[in-house]
């Protein structure tokens, strides 16, 4: 069930990625502000949607129609195939736009600039600590329920996967471990994002800084609410394992799905870096001297979506294709961050397996 939902969610985000991306980086190609509505870009938006929508629909349908007894890796294979197909569509669109951009010399006569706002560091946005409260409440409720229920549990537990296993503290409190990991992970990532550089438009730095500030606040609140939703899903799964509540198959996943939809809705409404929010920019040209554009930095974006820049000390930067942030793979600390995100679940399951061996 969770794997099917992942295939569907990945499909939605991949089909919508060009809609939420900044207009000055369509399909990962940097273009000057006045070229964002160029015919080639509009055509490629249509082509991309026509190619990826069927891919996403078919993958999601396939994942949901799999028989319940299908191999565990089948939904994951579908997910990987879906990702590869959509990334191939991205490459096709990107190449077409790059070819026209180079042939017509879109950046000729532009000042290519990068701009820093020193005021951002002097008065940085404040992390919305209070929005951690819902997640804490859910985790505390889960711990309390587990502790109260533990003495009365039978010798064997039926996990949400349907497996029957002997009772042990690690298995009983697995939902709490997952909750702490998810909440901690997202809080940690958000804290790094708060220290990352703001995504400013060189043509319109002040207005884009204001928009980015609003965007960051909204994203942090939504992600923390999402963490609380995931924690709630874990609590519902726990209640089922602890035989306190008889819930039909997919019901515990409803908070998780609601949280994911809230994130998608926010990204569509605000756009990457908040480019759809007020105050809107003036399109860049002040009328005197050459027009300012963001630096043409395509060479640092491999395939239009992987950022590799060894000279850039940034750990995380604003994503190009889609909304949110990505790691600078040219920074060794970026690889450490990826490892810190990926390793704990594997390490945890290995420890649990060793405990029960």
Partner 1 sequence: MLLPIEPDGPVPIYQQIRDRIVEAIASGVQPAGSGLPSVRQLAVDLGVNFHTVNKGYDALRREGLLRIGRKSGAVVRRDPASGPPEDPGLIDDWAARLHTLLAEAAAQGMSAAQIMAHCEAAIAGFAFPPGGSTASAGGGRP
Q: Supply 32's token pair.
A: 């000057």
In three-state secondary structure terms, 317 is strand
Choose between 163 and 299: whose C-beta lies nearer to partner 1: 299
Longest dimension (CA), the chain: 79
User: Does 113 help bind partner 1 (rule: CB under 8 A)?
Assistant: yes
Q: Which of residues 275-314 bind partner 1 (CB under 8 A)?
A: 292, 295-296, 309, 311-314
Asked if 12 and 56 count as a contact pair (C-beta separation under 8 A), the reply is: yes
Q: Which of residues 187-226 bind partner 1 (CB under 8 A)?
A: 196-198, 202, 205-206
Length of the chain: 357
Applying CB under 8 A, among 36, 112, 214, 326 the residue interacting with partner 1 is 112
In three-state secondary structure terms, 307 is strand
Tokens 């809107």 correspond to what residue? 280
Choose between 251 and 296: whose C-beta lies nearer to partner 1: 296
In angstroms, the CA 219 to CA 273 distance is: 10
User: Does 333 help bind partner 1 (rule: CB under 8 A)?
Assistant: no
Q: Shortest gap between Cβ of 112 and partner 1 (angstroms)?
A: 6
Distances (CA, A) of 1 to 160, 203, 247, 335: 11, 46, 14, 31
Q: Shortest gap between Cβ of 183 and partner 1 (angstroms)?
A: 27
Q: Which of residues 69-98 bind partner 1 (CB under 8 A)?
A: none
Choose between 40 and 293: whose C-beta lies nearer to partner 1: 293
Q: Supply 22's token pair.
A: 């900044």
Q: In this structure, what are the phi and psi dihedrals at residue 282, rounded to the nearest 5 degrees?
A: -100, 10
Choose between 107 and 218: whose C-beta lies nearer to partner 1: 107
Q: Shortest gap between Cβ of 21 and partner 1 (angstroms)?
A: 19
Choose between 128 and 205: whose C-beta lies nearer to partner 1: 205
User: Does 114 help bind partner 1 (rule: CB under 8 A)?
Assistant: yes
Choose between 98 and 256: whose C-beta lies nearer to partner 1: 98
Paired residues of 301 in beta bridges: 307
Residue among 30, 36, 83 at smallest CA distance from 59: 83
Applying CB under 8 A, among 118, 156, 161, 354 the residue interacting with partner 1 is 118
In angstroms, the CA 62 to CA 59 distance is: 5
Q: Shortest gap between Cβ of 199 and partner 1 (angstroms)?
A: 11
Residue among 330, 324, 323, 317 at smallest CA distance from 114: 317
Asked if 225 and 131 count as a contact pair (C-beta separation under 8 A), the reply is: yes
Applying CB under 8 A, among 85, 117, 192, 329 the residue interacting with partner 1 is 117
User: Does 258 help bind partner 1 (rule: CB under 8 A)?
Assistant: no
Q: Which of residues 150-179 bind partner 1 (CB under 8 A)?
A: none
Question: Does an H or E element contain 318, and which?
Answer: strand 316-318
User: Does 182 help bind partner 1 (rule: CB under 8 A)?
Assistant: no
Choose between 196 and 254: whose C-beta lies nearer to partner 1: 196
* Residues contacting partner 1: total by CB under 8 A: 27
| Contact positions vs partner 1 (CB under 8 A) | 111-122, 196-198, 202, 205-206, 292, 295-296, 309, 311-314, 317
């Amino acid at each position: 069930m969770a794997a099917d939902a992942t295939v569907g969610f990945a499909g939605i985000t991949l089909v919508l990625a060009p809609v939420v991306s900044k207009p000055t980086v369509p399909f990962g190609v940097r273009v000057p502000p006045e070229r964002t509505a160029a015919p080639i870009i509009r055509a490629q938006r249509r082509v991309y949607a026509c190619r990826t929508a069927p891919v996403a629909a078919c993958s999601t349908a396939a994942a949901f129609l799999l028989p319940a007894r299908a191999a565990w890796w089948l939904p994951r294979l579908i997910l990987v195939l879906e990702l590869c197909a959509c990334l191939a569509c991205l490459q096709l669109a990107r190449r077409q736009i790059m070819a026209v951009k180079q042939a017509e010399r879109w950046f000729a006569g532009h000042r290519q600039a990068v701009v820093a706002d020193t005021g951002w560091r002097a008065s940085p946005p404040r992390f919305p600590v209070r929005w951690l409260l819902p997640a804490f409440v859910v985790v505390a409720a889960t711990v309390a329920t587990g502790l109260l229920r533990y003495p009365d549990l039978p010798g064997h537990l039926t996990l949400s996967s349907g497996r029957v296993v002997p009772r042990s503290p690690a298995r009983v409190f697995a939902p709490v471990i997952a909750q702490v990991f998810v909440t901690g992970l997202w809080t940690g990532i958000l804290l790094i994002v708060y220290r990352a550089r703001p995504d400013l438009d060189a043509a319109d730095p002040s207005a884009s800084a204001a928009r980015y500030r609003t965007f960051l606040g909204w994203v942090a609140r939504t992600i923390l609410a999402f963490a609380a939703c995931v924690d709630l899903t874990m609590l519902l799964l726990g209640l089922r394992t602890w035989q306190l509540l008889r819930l039909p198959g997919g019901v515990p996943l409803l908070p998780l799905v609601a949280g994911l939809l809230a994130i998608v809705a926010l990204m569509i409404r605000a756009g990457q870096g908040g480019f759809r929010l007020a105050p809107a920019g003036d399109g860049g040209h002040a009328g005197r001297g050459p027009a300012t554009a963001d630096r043409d930095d395509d060479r640092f974006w491999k395939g239009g979506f992987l950022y590799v820049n060894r000279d850039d000390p940034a750990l995380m930067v604003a994503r190009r294709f889609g909304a949110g942030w990505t790691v600078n793979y040219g920074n060794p600390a970026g690889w450490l961050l990826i490892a810190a995100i990926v390793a704990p679940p594997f390490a945890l399951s290995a420890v649990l397996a060793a405990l029960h061996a």
